[in-house]
Amino acid sequence: MELLKRLFERHFNSPVERVQRLQGELSGSGRRIIRLSSEKISAIGILYDVREENVAFLEFSRHFRRHGLPVPEIYAEDLSHGAYLEEDLGNTTLFEFLSDHRDGASIAPEATAAYRKVVAVLPRFQVEAGRDLNYKVCYPRASFDRQSIAWDLNYFKYYFLRLAGIPFNEQALEHDFGRLTKLLLSASRDYFLYRDFQSRNIMLRDGQPFFLDYQGGRKGALQYDIASLLYDAKADLPPDLRQQLLDHYLDSLAGFLDLDRTVFMQYYYAYVYVRIMQALGAYGFRGFYERKEHFLQSVPYALINLRWLLHNVELPIALPALMEAFKSMVASDKLQGLTSEPEKLTVRVFSFSFHRGLPQDETGNGGGFVFDGRSLPNPGREESFKTLTGKDAEVIDYLNRQESVHQFLASVMSLVDASVSTYQRRGFKHLMVSFGCTGGQHRSVYLAEQLAKHLRDKDGVEVVVRHREQEQLNQ
């Protein structure tokens, strides 16, 4: 953290005034992603100890910017310590924008327009910028070759099929993998393959898309990245919209090369399948193997895509063992039920003293609400209350008789209720609400307890209450 602060202060000639951890526990990445801010400037700091990936990201970023592509500017770096600073592109991912602009399968025009902008830019990465890219810095492979495909297919076999208990004939499945690999490798593969081109790696700022997380990029086929975006499991795009966006992508692609759409489509759905399998392998590894169950919530969405493919697509080769495994997955009540009991939203409610600073956010979600209770009548000024806290009946009765306290709580509950509803709808797992007062003993404790009582009546909400100053006294 101190290293990032020094990079920031040297580059901007301005002290860091605020630090906010952005990389939360729901991510599968080992990166520490931190927003650093001064009064007028904000940047994103990255700490990551895989030098090869850092080198690839930094070189790709500078290359793409030379081509005028919307990627973050690199401000400063210290590769010897796995640190760099990049442009802050804001807080809105394409996935979040889509979530806010849909009602089930009904996607608002604003979200469709955002996706159209994204797919129109993709050929510039693949063809225009891919022509003179230095593929020597790619990690772990310079191309999406036989070895890369084998890694993805075995990832799916061992971390998803086996751990999910889906039966398969291993030798027959290996024969299918061989046939599928041969088909994939027969497609033209002389383009930049972004590798993780999906809605959470695309930011929207002022209505325009910006692109992140291409450090795994390499040379490969055109079909892979558009398949990644359109069959992104939790984005759950309707089939008709997927087709519209594919057509728009192909129209844009035709402006960069002599495109034979029939040839493109001969390979397209094979790449859709391999991308879905790669994603399922990741869900299985994180969910079944590492016991991070929130990753498994994407599985039923991936099964929706597989069901549609099984009913609507015929590949140019026969893959009987693989298709049988897919049918078993789609029919599995266990897999379909992975989102039937969604994780609760955990609301962590704190009381604290402003003299000792704000409570620390331990979830990586940025800290949430902080309410200042010092404007309310203070029971601590009365001798009879000095040894009591906001949990004692006498203090509760005193504060309950204050009209200003009820007005304060009504405003707080209105704000927090709105956030709780939005967080639940968008699948967020943590919200933090903190109440401060002078000593962290009376008003803040009372306010925290009242909000907690209110929230415990809500479905799908788990409430954790922490009275920081009281915990310190009891240690």
Question: Domain segments of the chain: what residues?
Answer: 2-87, 94-339, 345-474
pLDDT per residue over 219-251, tens digit each? 999 999 999 999 999 999 999 999 999 999 999
The pLDDT of 460-465, averaged and rounded, is 88
The pLDDT of 138-155, averaged and rounded, is 97
Q: Which residues pair with 188 in a beta bridge?
A: none
What pLDDT is recorded for position 293?
A: 80
Q: How far apart are CA 174 and CA 321, in angstroms?
A: 9
What pLDDT is recorded for position 108?
A: 93
Classified by CATH at the fold level, domain 2-87 comes out as: Phosphorylase Kinase; domain 1 (3.30.200)
C-beta contacts of 1-4 below 8 A and 24+ residues apart = 1/34, 1/47, 3/47, 3/78, 3/81, 3/83, 4/34, 4/36, 4/45, 4/47, 4/83, 4/85
Across 185-217, b (16+ Cβ under 10 Å) vs e yields: eebebebbbbbbbbbbbbbbeeeebbbbbbbbb
Structural contact between residues 71 and 61, judged by C-beta atoms closer than 8 angstroms: yes
Is pLDDT at 189 greater than 60 in this prediction?
A: yes
pLDDT per residue over 358-417, tens digit each? 998 877 666 789 999 999 999 999 999 999 999 999 999 999 999 999 999 999 999 999
Alpha-carbon distances, residue 329 vs 57, 224, 237, 274, 299 (angstroms)? 36, 23, 20, 15, 10
The pLDDT of 70-88, averaged and rounded, is 97
pLDDT over 70 percentage in the chain = 96
Same topology, domains 2-87 and 94-339? Answer is no
Structural contact between residues 183 and 270, judged by C-beta atoms closer than 8 angstroms: yes
Across 275-291, b (16+ Cβ under 10 Å) vs e yields: bbbbbbbbbbbbbbeee
CB atoms within 10 A of CB 231: 26
- Model pTM score: 0.73
The SS3 of residue 440 is coil
**Confidence tier at 338 by pLDDT (50, 70, 90):** confident
- CATH class in words for 94-339: alpha beta
> Strands 345-353 and 42-47, how do they pair?
unpaired
**Confidence tier at 475 by pLDDT (50, 70, 90):** low
The per-residue pLDDT of the chain, averaged, comes to 93
What pLDDT is recorded for position 25?
A: 39
The pLDDT of 429-457, averaged and rounded, is 93
Is pLDDT at 24 greater than 50 in this prediction?
A: no
Is pLDDT at 27 greater than 60 in this prediction?
A: no
What pLDDT is recorded for position 421?
A: 87
Could you tell me the two tokens for 250?
Answer: 């192909």
> Strands 83-87 and 74-78, how do they pair?
antiparallel
pLDDT over 90 percentage in the chain = 82
Could you tell me the two tokens for 463?
Answer: 């409430």
Could you tell me the two tokens for 63?
Answer: 């290359």
